[in-house]
Amino acid sequence: MTEPASPAASRWALPPHDDWSTPFADLLLQQLDLRPGLKILDVASGHGIPAFYLAEQVGPTGTVVAVDASRGQVASARAIQRDDLPWLRFECLDMRALPASFPAFQRITGNLSVMFFRPHRFEAVRGLLEHLEPGGQLVLTFPSLGTFDSLWQRIDQEMSRHGLTTERERLATHVAERPSAEEARGWLERLEMERISIVERPLEVASGSGQRFLQHPLLRGGFLDDAYECFDDARLADQVMTRVSEDLESMTPLIAQRCALSGWKRCNQ
């Protein structure tokens, strides 16, 4: 497996100030067999982590197509790219429904992608493999089951204190819906992939308490939203979540589980 180039040698190195996408992308690159000339499809590409880095590494003899369902994200990535790396192309496409005419690639990557495969994750992975050449590699990263367990336990505790049975059931459903590493391995086993590997690494996320916690760009951007969605009463949600946010000490450290899933498509598939 080719080691990624050092950040100092890369104009398009992973941004060090990104405390979420970059650590997951680092784990992805550790699993990816990356070399010049490859054709790569990067799904849920967002604003280009790690698509820009991948494009720099494959060079002008390679190709990187980065797809995302968000027009805003695609526009942002194109604005960053400008006229650089002409063999890198950003497209607005839903990775769960790529057209049959879409080409095949030697590598398919997806940083923090699995969360967007809902509601049918296995079917989404199977659809991606239709665009992976035989002998090609798939590498996906995602926050796996166990991510921010201390947060969910504290919210559940506060819900229980208020006697919120329905809200607790909804929260438990949200938490259980997050895929585990072994569940992800099962997807690739069912698809008869080879050299399957699963790697999990902890990632501590720092946050202040109170409003700094509730408005944390990462937590509020998805994880806390899951908790708010458990409530029908917005004022009650604010009351419960405010109490939770003031008790940061009981939740720290906030640990996410970085999971990288890798497998190779059989040559006779």
| 17: in domain | yes
The DSSP element (H or E) to which 256 belongs, if any, is strand 254-264
* pLDDT tens digits, one per residue of 212-249: 999 998 887 778 999 999 999 999 999 999 999 999 99
* pLDDT tens digits, one per residue of 118-128: 778 999 999 99
Residue type, 197: S
* pLDDT tens digits, one per residue of 38-82: 999 999 999 999 999 999 999 999 999 999 999 999 999 999 999
The pTM assigned to this predicted structure is: 0.91
Check residue 8 and give its pLDDT: 44
| 15: in domain | yes
| 1: in domain | no
Measured distance CA(64)–CA(87) in Å, rounded: 6
Measured distance CA(256)–CA(240) in Å, rounded: 22
Full domain range(s) for residue 163 = 149-174+210-246
pLDDT of 136 strictly over 50:
yes
Check residue 60 and give its pLDDT: 97
Query: Looking at residue 22, which CATH number applies to its domain?
Result: 3.40.50.150
**In terms of domains, do 220 and 183 share one?**
no
Nearest to 20 by CA among 49, 54, 55: 49
| 2: in domain | no
Number of domains, the chain: 2
Residue type, 66: A
